[in-house]
Structure 1
Amino acid sequence: MGARQRIAILTHSTNPRGGVVHALALAEALCDLGHEAVVHAPDPTGRGFFRPARCPVVSVASKPVGGPTTDLVRSRIEDYLRHFATPAACDFDVFHAHCGITGNALATLARRRLIHGFVRTVHHIDSFADPQLAHWQDRAIFDANRLLGVSRLWAECLVRDYGRAAEIVGNGVDLDLYGPEPAAEDADLRARWGLGAGPVFLSVGGFEERKNSLRIIEAFAALRAEEPAAQLVVVGGASLLDHAAYQARCRAALDRAGLEVGIGRAVVQTGPVPQAAMPGFYRLARALVFPSLREGFGLCVLEAMACGTPAIVAGQPPFTEYLTPDDALFVDPENAGAILGALRAALDPTLHAYLSGAGPRLAAGHGWRACAERHLAAYAACSRRMQALSDA
């Protein structure tokens, strides 16, 4: 295992986004390995993280911010700079950023000589029209001492576009939480959201452009004409970025298709939900519909498969890095007709039974402990560098 290390893991939010889920689960696995990993996040609501954690957590003092995304990002960077303003607050062996916000805060702390460097995980890279947001994204990559990536897709992007190498650490799934066996809470969840005989399809991540929501709506509307009892459940959607314009387009598409939104309706939009509810949502769904156009890894795919729920995914990286056509239903994400075809295929009893059985077996190969172990070499190298600079 090596020497015990104190690791500050920094993320941008307490909400259930993929990078935050990863940060918490990674820290818990590192603690299980004997290290002290402390997850930090701005917490403007004061409610803490979206789930209880088995690792130390710190709520970084912050306030709600309205207005443009640039104002919010700037404010969150400043929140972190205030939090780590003293040497005592920076008493960690390793600093690990999981987003551009925290990468920028740590880059500034390094220039102020309060820390000697940091590790950065790049979950994915966005395309920003705003030059300030683009600058912050680039700085959080260029100024990191070591880069990690969750998929080969983004590691190759870092080499191509930034000239930086990244070690691939992958992702994991909590097999103690996500499993195929029904739970008593599943029936309560069905009643709470008005889910009928179905078939029920699940979309995770809210209405966002990179989640391909408009094409999901188009495909589901066509299926609904064939299966009048079908329902689409849209879970999640908490984000620092402004998706209002795209969400308006989604609402217009739903109206044109005659798809009502609400509890018990054709489309059930839940917003963010506690993590404890997610296994039930997966088990109640005929399939996860996740033909994402741009994804870091697709953590919810592993969660769904662990629950025995077939996944409909884009037939492109990163999904093709850890799945084959025997594991999931691959589609052309640009083609709503292809997504419709996958929805129909998920209704086939034989195919559904095969994919339901294959999912848990594949998910079992993606434990968080192995993911945490893949981080240790980068942490050790960063820790040695910090110690050498401290002794100089």
Structure 2
Amino acid sequence: MYKNLAATLVVACFFLPAVQAQTSSPTPVKATEPIKAGFVYVSPITDAGWTRQHDEGRKAVERALGDQVKTTFVADVAEGADAERVIRDLAQQGHQIIFTPSFGYMEPTLRVAKDFPNVKFESVTGFKTAPNVSASNARYYEGRYLAGVAAGRMTQTNVAGYVAGFPIPEVLQGINAFTLGMRSVNPKATVKVVWLNAWFDPPKEREAAMALFNQDVDVIAFHTGSTAVMAAAQERGKMAVAYHSDMRRVAPDAQIIAVTHQWGDYYTSRVRAALSGTWTSGNVWGGIKDGMIRVGEFGPKVPKAVQDEVLAKQRLVGTGKLLPFAGPITDNEGKAVLPAGQSLSDAQILNMNYLVQGVQGRVSR
């Protein structure tokens, strides 16, 4: 998750699409002792959500590498000084590779990395790299577009809600892609946004969802870290799009689709590279094609025809034949952003700072 808008807008264009920038590769060395991999989490490990998906990635590493790896995690670590202390402790304890999946961990990771040049660091959702710091993120917006298609087919009021954390490019990409997906099948659809300025605050998430349900919203999406929005939808008899994880255990009737993040393969490949001595710094931005984002886990209310449509479009996104940010695109103040026949570049997507036509709300600063 990101947290620094200004910095992101300036340098986000340095992301490379799902290809690692290679530096000089060391001679592979086979490890004789288990590699120690550390993970730092920004919130508690709940039943579902951002942190849950990263911990599932950690468990996937253990399953894949067995006694070749020992993993450690520290959860509910605040961004800033606390994060630097925890990351430094893991490095001092002999962890050879450390994953820090939160944007606010990027600078602390870089500071610690300078003092531990032989430790490999994985800054997940960060964008700055160093010889021993690699960056990675996922194209969440691809899943958001597909979820919007499902929401556009399912809504009866033509009004969706969106509970959003911070107004940074990653979140704006999601809101805009969701809206474009809805309106691709339902041109009357609109999306109302509530900004929380928090990633993980279940009471505030619930309150925002309830407020949106009182404004004709019958389907809701969110970019926060808990399951509170899903629980609120279940309670009110509304529909909801799960994010990060499948959340049908929390909202068995409300969930219409889930946009899930799949970190296991990436984490395993990076630990395996560190183990073999072939790890290099790079910058990865992967999506559906790379198996890092997936939609599915449809709820019981969703007709098979809608499920088939969404899954067919997921395959098209994976092959590059369907681009969520294809023109024409107009912002919600009436300004033309992109003409027909063109699509946004990665740099334009990563520096997104507007809301598209159909979104009711402003980019809160």
TM-score range, shorter chain: 0.3 to 0.5
- Identify the structure with bigger relative contact order (alpha carbons < 8 Å, sequence gap 6+): 2
Q: TM-score, normalised by structure 1?
A: 0.38
| Larger-Rg structure | 1
Q: TM-score, normalised by structure 2?
A: 0.40
